[in-house]
Structures are given as structure tokens and as C-alpha cells.
A = this chain, B = another copy of it.
Amino acid sequence: MAARPPRPLKTQKTKPVVRFRMRITAGETVAIGPGKIRLLEAIEETGSLTAAAKSIDMSYRRAWVLVNELNGSLKRPAVESAKGGEHGGGSQVTAVGRQLIEHYRTIEATAEVSCKAEIQALTRLLVEPAV
């Protein structure tokens, strides 16, 4: 255990990718985070919780729990399910849900732009990608 960790080769196979993720937690629960936003976007695209879950490789059960948590964290729901038909006749992202997606994606983009110089400084400490 006393040995210094072995040094890997000092090249990377791929260019470093920077990802910002924002989470808003309330107590133990993540009220809003990347998983819920991605699911919302998928529901908006597909109009169905089943199809949305499938498209992002998430179980229907998990998607249902996330939508339930999300709606419970909001004053007004982000997703509404129609009654009747296959799995309740589809699910719709509400105006509130669309606001949520837009704010979230704007925040991520703004964070990246405003931190550009610092991110570059940090990235310069990293091993250069092997081209």
C-alpha cells in the first residue's frame, strides 16, 4: 500500500468533455436534476410515458416515479396524463414543464459560457488527447 500509484500513459484517447449538471434538492429528494429534465424532454417528443422511458433506456416504473416526484415538487404539474386508452392515453408536458426545461437548459448553457476562461485554464492541466 506504500507504493506510489503507477503512472498511466500520458495521453488520452479522446478530447475532454465538460458537462455541467445542476440539481435542486429539497431535503433528501432531488426535486430537479438532469434525469428528470431528460425524461421531460423525451415525454414532450413522444407524447407518452412508455415511449419516453423506452427512448432514454429507462424503466417505465422509474419514469413513473420520477414524474411523480417532479409533479410533487412543483406548484403545478409538469406532466399530465390523459385518462383511458393505452397507459392512460398518453402523457403531455404542460406549459410549466416546458418552462422548466427551458430554464434548466439555459442555466447549463449560461454556466458553460460564463466559466469558459476558467474551464480552459483547468483543461490545460489535463493530458493532451492523442490525435
Interface residue ranges, A against B (CB under 8 Å)? 1-8, 10, 12-27, 31-32, 60, 64, 67-68, 71-76, 80-81, 83-85, 87-89, 96, 99-100, 103-104, 106-107, 110-111, 113-115, 118-119, 121-123, 125-129
Contact = CB atoms under 8 A, between A and B. Distances in A.
Contacts of A126: 24, 26, 31-32, 73-75
B16 A25 contact: yes
Question: Dominant SS at the A interface?
Answer: mixed
Contacts of A104: 122
B4 A72 contact: no
B24 A122 contact: yes
Which 3 A-B pairs have CB atoms at the shortest separation, nearest pair first? A114-B114, A5-B68, A111-B111
